[in-house]
Structure 1
Amino acid sequence: MSATRLLVLGVVRMYGRAHGYQVRRELLSWSADKWANVQPGSIYHALKKMTAEDLLAQVDVEPGAGPDRVAYRLTAEGEQEYQLLLSKALSDPQLNHPDLSAAISLMTTLPRARVINLLRHRLVHLEAEQRQARMMLEELKISMGMGTPEHVGELYRLWGGITDASFTWLEGLIARLEAGEYVMADESGDAFGEPPSRASE
């Protein structure tokens, strides 16, 4: 998965229609260039590629040349792709940090119960990873007698520590969502990231 792909779809969706410059400016305001390594070239490349894949459609071409003269909107296929990428990034613990960060930035565009269910799925996988890290440390005691270097255990402790921190944070996020924090797509009020027509309903 590409965090850039999800973020670009999310921002175009949020505006209803957007120029490449708008997408870039919005993502820079989220510091996505730092946590997702989203660069201007990757934004314009994603817009062009997803237009070729019929996920985006050009809706306005202003006179003159250049990528900032073209506006884009999501197609029905683009909406499906957005929903799929967002759901996968929220639930799949194998995805990397930028993908999860992109999904957290856009999670309010889904119904509350759906986000909680997706995050619970991720939590189950993190529990399994915690058990695996503990098992690996136990197995290290046996394998050291067969030549495994003792310091390899630090890798297992690192992985376990990262998993423990992720688990604690995720439990907290689920609790905050269950307590009603943040306006979500299926609630009254303006949910961040919702398209203009939905946000005003």
Structure 2
Amino acid sequence: MSTTRILILGTLLDGPLNGYQVRRLLETWGADSWANVKFGSIYHGLGKMAEEGLMEVVETGKGGSTVYALTDDGRFEFYRLLMSTWHELKPIVDPFQVAVTYLDRLDRHQLVGALQARIEQLRLGVATSERALGVKQRFGAPRHIDENLRLNLGTLRAQLDWCEQALTKVENDELP
């Protein structure tokens, strides 16, 4: 199941949109940072879902600005995907966990440097996300979109806490 698929279908719930409007809406929500949306895939997704009967073309404008509307099948598919996402716990694939698996392959100096660099990136990510809270509403995003930021903040803070503890362990020769 693709999160991009759910997002595209969901943006069309309130009425027809063209690909550019779908993209702008998702950008306003900040979906590129919490949903791993590749904005180029939106146009492909719209066309594919139209072929599948999940949406229909309601207008073809100048320059290929095609406007899509959900079909009844598209609405059903959106709610089916949405509810399965709420009820299924899926692993979060984080490449950093792969790096942690091989932390013993780095010498102490490399590992300390890598942890310090990651800690700085995480602190910056936390600060940036904290500043972004509430800002998206000024650009039309619904209030609940901030919950994605809060969830992301929790993830960043948990990883920051782990990295700080791991750095202390490395410095005290308790790791690896």
Structure 1 match to 2:63: 65
Structure 1 match to 2:149: none
Structure 2 match to 1:171: none
* C-alpha distance in structure 2 between counterparts of 1:42 and 1:76, whole Å: 23
Cα deviations across residues 68-106 of structure 1 (Å, max 9, x unaligned)? x11111001101100100000011002648xxxxxxxxx
Normalised to the residue count of structure 2, the TM-score between the two structures is 0.51
User: Aligned AA for 2:3?
Assistant: A
Give the counterpart of 2:78 among 52, 72, 82: 82
* C-alpha distance in structure 2 between counterparts of 1:56 and 1:38, whole Å: 20
Structure 2 CA distance for partners of 1:86 and 1:96, relative to 1, 3 Å: farther
Q: What does 1:139-158 correspond to in 2, within 5 Å?
A: none
Structure 2 match to 1:21: 20
Q: What does 1:29-178 correspond to in 2, within 5 Å?
A: 29-62=28-61, 64-66=62-64, 69-94=65-90, 96=92
User: Aligned AA for 1:9?
Assistant: L
* C-alpha distance in structure 1 between counterparts of 2:85 and 2:55, whole Å: 20
C-alpha displacement at 1:41, in angstroms?
1.1
* C-alpha distance in structure 2 between counterparts of 1:80 and 1:6, whole Å: 11
Cα deviations across residues 134-192 of structure 1 (Å, max 9, x unaligned)? xxxxxxxxxxxxxxxxx9xxxxxxxxxxxxxxxxxxxxxxxxxxxxxxxxxxxxxx998
Contact 1:19–1:71, Cα closer than 8 Å, also in 2: yes
Contact 1:17–1:72, Cα closer than 8 Å, also in 2: yes
4+ residue runs over 6 A deviation: none
Return 5+ residue gaps in structure 2 as ranges: 94-103, 105-141, 145-176
3-state SS of 1:34 partner: helix
C-alpha displacement at 1:44, in angstroms?
0.7
Identity within the alignment, % = 42
3-state SS of 1:60 partner: strand
User: Aligned AA for 2:46?
Assistant: L
* C-alpha distance in structure 1 between counterparts of 2:92 and 2:4, whole Å: 13
Task: Tell me how many residue pairs correspond in the alignment.
Answer: 98
Cα-Cα RMSD: 2.5
C-alpha displacement at 1:13, in angstroms?
1.2
Structure 1 match to 2:10: 10
3-state SS of 1:86 partner: helix
Contact 1:89–1:95, Cα closer than 8 Å, also in 2: no
3-state SS of 1:39 partner: coil
